[in-house]
Structure 1
Amino acid sequence: MQKYLITSREFYTQDSDIFSKTLYEQLKKHKPEYALFRDKTATNYKDLASIFTLTCKEIGGIKSFIHQDISLAKALGADGVHLTSKQFLEIQNAKSKNLEVMISAHTHDEVLQAQKLGADAVTYSPIFASPHKGEPKGVDDLEELLYKYKIKVFALGGILTNEQVEMIAKTKAYGFASIRYFF
């Protein structure tokens, strides 16, 4: 099962030196196959995104994704872009730039739409309780979704423990994504 590490301001900070050190340590420790730079408030977003992409390349074996910004993902040589659930109409634009496209989905209909529009993968959330993310979908709903669609699905939301990862591993999910599990 693939692991998708997601950064956050709270855990990685916006200080370039601390961010670089923390990111390197966490990537080496957890060895995710995918990683996403996501910080919605950074005033030095491009600098941190550059550090992120270079660190993923330096370690190797990690597909780097930039949150929302297709042009920045392309300019930095990231492997892909992770679009929000409000960016479905941007899938083709990102694909035309030879980027892998991951998109956030919160309903079965959104997963179907992502598949039809050619996204490479979705994060489907929240599977477990997660602050400010609404009612958890649960593993049964995830399994139902996985039998309906062919797109790669990363389970996301409230994944904190090895027991939760094991529950997801028993499904046909392509992988799991988390911020807090990887810290």
Structure 2
Amino acid sequence: MIKHYLITDPAFYTSNPEEVVQKLLHVKTKYQPDYICLRDKITSDYASLSKAVANAFLQDAKTKLYLHTDFRLAHALGCNGVHLPSTALHVIEKAKALGLEVIVSTHTLEEIEEAEKRGADAITFSPIFATPNKGKPLGLEKLKEINDRINIKCFALGGIINIEQVKACEEIGVYGFASIRFFLD
């Protein structure tokens, strides 16, 4: 069964810790994601936001919680892992040394190979489908080509908003799919 990876966005979840927790608890009950990444690039207090979410979610064995970029904070809060941008491949080893799982955003085979070489546990490969402000979609054919060539867990990412797209990714054989909008009401 394909793994479900929810990535938050303040446009849909706000940056208010209490509101984010309430929305995530609702979404978690409804969709039961295997992974959640708290991604908020606009808040001025990511640490407080992360702490509120970590406190609400760490008692759950089903859903793994990842922070975005800040591996030291993820470790301090007892999160399962960190999701790094492709520009942060150089910190994979530091995050792994703290016992964190690492997922890296990738867009090319070269980035995937580098992430794998440095010890990442998984990658997202994107954008698969049309996504606002993310450039030309790579498509399912490219996803299959990449997935067939790599030895690391691959999450399809980008424009996945319905179950038909999830099933198309599952048929390719990827480990999972990641999405912001799929998990919205």
Q: Same fold (TM over 0.5)?
A: yes
Sequence identity percentage? 42
Residue number in structure 2 paired with 1:168: 169
What are the within-5 Å matches in structure 2 for residues 54-133 of structure 1? 54-133=55-134
SS of corresponding position for 2:67: strand
Bigger mean CA offset, 42-51 vs 134-143: 42-51
| C-alpha contact 1:6 1:179 (8 A) present in aligned 2 | yes
- Residue 56 of structure 1 and its aligned partner are, at CA, apart by 2.3
Residue number in structure 2 paired with 1:53: 54
**In 1: Cα distance, 2:102 partner to 2:49 partner:** 21
Q: How many residues align?
A: 183
Q: Which runs of 4+ in 1 moved over 4 A?
A: none
- Residue 172 of structure 1 and its aligned partner are, at CA, apart by 1.4
Q: How much is the aligned-residue C-alpha RMSD, in angstroms?
A: 0.9
Structure 2 residues not aligned, in runs of 5+: none
Residue number in structure 1 paired with 2:138: 137
| C-alpha contact 2:35 2:66 (8 A) present in aligned 1 | yes
| C-alpha contact 1:28 1:59 (8 A) present in aligned 2 | no
* Counterpart code for 2:75: K
- Residue 44 of structure 1 and its aligned partner are, at CA, apart by 2.4
| C-alpha contact 1:127 1:137 (8 A) present in aligned 2 | yes
| C-alpha contact 1:34 1:62 (8 A) present in aligned 2 | yes
Residues 60-98 of structure 1: per-residue CA shift (max 9 Å, x gap): 411110000011000110000111110001010100000
Asked whether 1:155 is paired with 2:156, we answer: yes
- Residue 59 of structure 1 and its aligned partner are, at CA, apart by 4.0
- Residue 51 of structure 1 and its aligned partner are, at CA, apart by 1.8
Residue number in structure 1 paired with 2:21: 20
* Counterpart code for 1:10: A
Q: Output the TM-score relative to the length of structure 2.
A: 0.96
Q: Output the TM-score relative to the length of structure 1.
A: 0.97
- Residue 135 of structure 1 and its aligned partner are, at CA, apart by 0.8
Bigger mean CA offset, 171-180 vs 57-66: 57-66
* Counterpart code for 1:17: E
Structure 1 residues not aligned, in runs of 5+: none
